[in-house]
């Protein structure tokens, strides 16, 4: 496409600004640490940058709690070192080859020197990041016509039945009506606590809301707030405590549990509407590596992008994708804003939704930082002013009564508002459950590719903001059902992927508005387009590889190096907006560069934006441009420790992270107190 004068001026301006900022900022240099295997010809540090600063700082004799990852059996000398009086092994996750250890910071380099040590990082804090069924396309796929082995057509209800969704969050109010099955039994099949509080309910209020978006049954308020997969089984894994805060170690314990129990509870999907600051490269970060293990065994992991998309002046901020949203194998979800309407012609990206690229990275032996710089999120889903289940007596509503949506005064039937990528993520998790029900032979990579290929690109937003586009459940289910179920174990590149020679029509109509699909998928730093992505089997759809990070697949071909994947598929450079224009073609995204219309922040820089919103205001920033160090106390009493920005765990932030005020954008449906059992609106009840 021939560039316009405006495009040329923008590219020239960005290039000049890039040079200016690069010269003014210089290279971000961290502490030297023990070397790990080479990456890109350079040795990598085995110690995370924030931990290295502690081990070499004035408090180096103070104890720190770390995640130790091994790359092989533990040697006798390392075992002896970890048996010293000052060292305490808190937990071991055998399936993840990692342990939680408390030791003096001064010992870190000594431990890292052992060959079997892969990486050491701080046990950081994790936190919650926080008309749907109609606007997403879920209502359009409830009834499916399937053909029996005898050739008899029958009607199937697509509702997630038989699929387990593990929700890692602040617990679930197990008595809430939203989680009953068609037979009036609880669909929460198991609950576990990993916080140490020894409770499985939801005193914070985040997890119940998240779980009901993914799998609420719609009995309340005439199914106005039905979840995406209303008959899916729910696995309640509590990793955030009573104030919405958790730890890396608690999250790892839950993921390790999933690996052990996935078959027992038919877990095919994990929802992670939580995160921590993405410091370490996804290749080193323990949560990212654990997520990869789950994906490799066939589990889809949906992860929130984060809620740090703007600064104090309302300017867009790039490069604030949270962990594990920076993990390539996860489906990273940003938040869109439907403005309360079912048609999708007015949808946009919520201003607070975190934008890419990923700015996690690794430090080489010379102290130079190397950023991952992957395109994220992968797609977006509605996340603004979402109404769904409210846990009884939860902290969020207790401190912010306006969050109660006024749907019902009854116990176990209340509904509440919440906003954020936390609310968008379970929409994708529930969609994945529908896809597995529609076609159980899909791999996580197929699910991810199908969701991106069928997504709706939103006009005026680039891929760092929306990924491939807004989730389109109608198109995704139609495409998933078209994928062959008899591919078997041998899947050569280019083999027919669909059960028909005619691919699905790449457009969808929702609430009278027709839109085209993206017809492409994100490949790490690049983008692939072409009908071959759905008509021919691609090696990156297999288990054990990922779609997004340039992993070597078959015959030494690297998918994301610009090589044609197969006939009809072309991989290109650049970040694309919805009309196909490449906005960053020829512009190098380097440290500190302003990307088009916003500021890019590097993990290693001294400038972080912390959004803490009070009451019904929007965009109030407590800290913007401060050098955040250990134990810094900000003006609102929020403590930032260990270099972790605890933005989304603050009650007022999670409660009122809104685009605008708390005024509803759609009419609230009031509950009559009588369960709605005709969920499809066809006179057929789901229970008697």
Catalytic sites, residue numbers: 169, 206, 422
Which strand (E) or helix (H) includes residue 126? strand 125-128
- Strand 598-600 relative to strand 316-318, pairing: parallel
Decide: 549 and 524 in contact? Cβ < 8 Å.
Answer: yes
Q: Closest by alpha carbon to 316, among 420, 522, 464?
A: 464
Decide: 96 and 290 in contact? Cβ < 8 Å.
Answer: yes
The span from the first CA to the last CA of the chain, in angstroms, equals 60
- The Cα 268–Cα 289 span in angstroms is 18
Decide: 230 and 216 in contact? Cβ < 8 Å.
Answer: yes
- The Cα 665–Cα 512 span in angstroms is 20
Q: Closest by alpha carbon to 211, among 175, 255, 245?
A: 175
- The Cα 228–Cα 131 span in angstroms is 11
**Ordered DSSP codes for 24-67:** HH---B-----EEEEETTEEEESB-HHHHHHHTSTTTTSEEEEE
Half-sphere exposure in the Cβ direction for 566 (13 Å, CA): 20
Decide: 96 and 286 in contact? Cβ < 8 Å.
Answer: yes
**Length of the chain in residues, anyone?**
688
DSSP lists the bridge partners of residue 121 as 67
User: Look-up: residue for tokens 């040697």?
Assistant: 75
Here the tokens at position 512 are 């009278």
């Amino acid at each position: 496409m021939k560039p316009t004068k405006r495009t040329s001026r923008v590219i020239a301006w960005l290039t000049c600004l890039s040079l200016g900022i690069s010269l003014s900022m210089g290279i971000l240099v961290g502490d030297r640490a023990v070397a790990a295997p080479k990456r890109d010809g350079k040795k990598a540090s085995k110690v995370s940058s924030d931990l290295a600063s502690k081990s070499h700082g004035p408090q180096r004799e103070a104890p720190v709690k770390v995640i130790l990852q091994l790359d092989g059996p533990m040697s006798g000398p390392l075992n002896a070192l970890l048996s010293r009086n000052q060292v305490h092994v808190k937990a071991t996750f055998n399936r993840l080859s990692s342990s939680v250890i408390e030791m003096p910071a001064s010992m870190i380099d000594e431990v890292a020197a052992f060959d079997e040590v892969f990486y050491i990082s701080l046990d950081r804090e994790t936190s919650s990041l926080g008309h749907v069924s109609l606007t997403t396309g879920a209502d359009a796929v409830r009834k499916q016509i399937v053909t029996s082995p005898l050739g008899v057509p029958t009607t199937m209800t697509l509702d997630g039945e038989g699929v387990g969704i593990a929700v890692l969050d602040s617990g679930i109010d197990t008595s809430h009506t939203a989680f009953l099955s068609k037979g009036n039994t609880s669909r929460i099949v198991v609950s576990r606590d990993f916080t140490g509080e020894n409770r499985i309910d939801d005193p914070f209020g985040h997890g119940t809301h998240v779980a009901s978006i993914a799998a609420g049954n719609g009995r309340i308020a005439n199914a106005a707030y039905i979840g995406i997969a209303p008959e899916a089984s729910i696995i309640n894994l509590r990793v955030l405590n009573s104030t919405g805060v958790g730890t890396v170690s608690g999250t790892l314990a839950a993921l390790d549990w999933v690996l052990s129990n996935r078959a027992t509870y038919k877990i095919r999907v994990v929802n992670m509407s939580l995160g921590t600051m993405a410091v370490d490269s996804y290749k080193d970060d323990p949560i990212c590596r654990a997520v990869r293990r789950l994906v490799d065994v066939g589990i889809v992991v949906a992860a929130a992008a984060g809620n740090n998309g703007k600064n104090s002046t309302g300017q867009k901020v790039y490069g604030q994708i949270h962990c594990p949203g920076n993990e390539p194998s996860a489906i990273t979800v940003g938040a869109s804003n439907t403005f309360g309407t079912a048609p999708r012609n007015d949808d946009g990206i919520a201003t607070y939704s975190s934008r890419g690229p990923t700015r996690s990275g690794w430090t080489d032996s010379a102290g130079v930082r190397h950023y991952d710089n992957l395109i994220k999120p992968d797609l977006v889903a509605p996340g603004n002013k979402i109404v769904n289940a409210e846990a009884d007596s939860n902290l969020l509503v207790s401190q912010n009564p306006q969050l109660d949506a006024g749907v019902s005064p009854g116990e176990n039937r209340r509904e509440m508002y919440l906003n954020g990528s936390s609310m968008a993520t379970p929409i994708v998790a529930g969609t994945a459950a529908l896809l597995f029900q529609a076609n159980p032979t899909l791999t996580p990579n197929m699910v991810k590719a199908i969701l991106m290929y069928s997504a709706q690109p939103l006009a005026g937003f680039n891929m760092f903001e929306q990924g491939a586009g807004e989730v389109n459940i109608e198109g995704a289910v139609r495409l998933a059902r078209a994928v062959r179920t008899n591919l078997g174990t041998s899947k050569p590149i280019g083999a027919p992927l669909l059960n028909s020679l005619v691919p699905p029509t790449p457009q969808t109509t929702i609430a009278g508005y027709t839109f085209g699909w993206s017809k492409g998928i994100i490949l790490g730093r690049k983008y692939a387009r072409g009908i071959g992505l759905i008509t021919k089997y691609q090696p990156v759809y297999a288990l054990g590889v990922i779609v997004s990070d340039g992993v070597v697949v078959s015959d030494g071909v690297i998918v994301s190096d610009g090589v044609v994947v197969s006939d009809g598929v072309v991989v290109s450079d650049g970040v694309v907006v919805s009309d196909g224009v490449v906005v960053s073609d020829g512009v190098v995204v380097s440290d500190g560069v302003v990307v088009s219309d916003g500021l890019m922040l590097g993990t290693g820089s001294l400038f972080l934006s912390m959004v803490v919103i009070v009451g019904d205001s929007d965009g109030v920033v407590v800290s913007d441009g401060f050098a955040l160090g250990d134990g810094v106390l900000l003006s609102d009493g929020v403590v930032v420790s260990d270099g972790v920005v605890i933005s989304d765990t603050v009650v007022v932030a999670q409660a009122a992270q809104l685009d605008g005020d708390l005024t509803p954008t759609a009419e609230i449906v009031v509950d009559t107190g009588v369960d709605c059992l005709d969920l499809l609106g066809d006179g057929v009840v789901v229970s008697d």
